[in-house]
Amino acid sequence: MNKKFLISFIILFVCLIFNQKVFAEMVIQKGSYINGILVQTVSSEFNNKQDAVKFLVTQNFYINNEIVLPKNSVFVGYISDLKKAEQGRNGYFSIDFYGIILPTGETIPMKGHLWSSSSSNIFGGELTRRSGYKKTMHRSECFGRRGILQLNQYGPRILGSETKIKAGTEMVIIFDEDCVF
């Protein structure tokens, strides 16, 4: 019994001296975010739904002063939703991530998405302007006989433009679930 205890103590002591993880399990919590850059250009014009997307981590990510995600780790994901531009709406897409490849080659499963300012996490998809203008005259006693001429957008909407994010653009990934290392 004493022999097993002594061996366990020596292993623990050696691990602590050389700053090795013993039983530590690190968790990146749901809602955490990581900055990095897109590896390739993504566009509603030439990409398709389910196309692969890679995202490079540009700086170490720490938890409790320990590097959890080293610089040059790669997030792997795919285009989860995509629609080309059409009359009345710009093209759009959204990107989801399912794994991390560490510089050592180890793969860690995760769930996340590329953050965008829209509530549905899509890039693009805005309505386009109308094709013409209609003049509307507003008269009031305070303006005298002149009145005010207002131009209102009128007619069908114009053809939308494609949405594109260029390679090397700095972006943010949001974790959708806890990620255990």
Q: What is the pLDDT, as a whole number, of residue 5?
A: 62
The yes-or-no verdict on residue 92 having pLDDT over 50 is yes
What pLDDT, on the 0 to 100 scale, is given for residue 34? Answer: 94
pLDDT in tens, 21-70: 544 578 899 999 999 999 999 999 999 999 999 999 999 999 888 888 99
Q: How far apart are CA 129 and CA 113, in angstroms?
A: 29
pLDDT digits (tens, 9 = 90+) for 110-126: 999 999 988 888 999 99
The residues, any chain, with a CB within 8 Å of residue 169's CB and separated by 6 or more, are 37, 38
pLDDT of residue 172: 95
Look up tokens 């490849």; give the residue.
Answer: 101
d(CA 61, CA 181): 12
Global pTM? Answer: 0.76
Q: What is the pLDDT of residue 93?
A: 97
Domains defined along the chain, listed by start: 27-128+155-180 (2.40.128.260)
pLDDT at 19 over 60: no
- Residue 2 φ/ψ, nearest 5 degrees: -65, -35
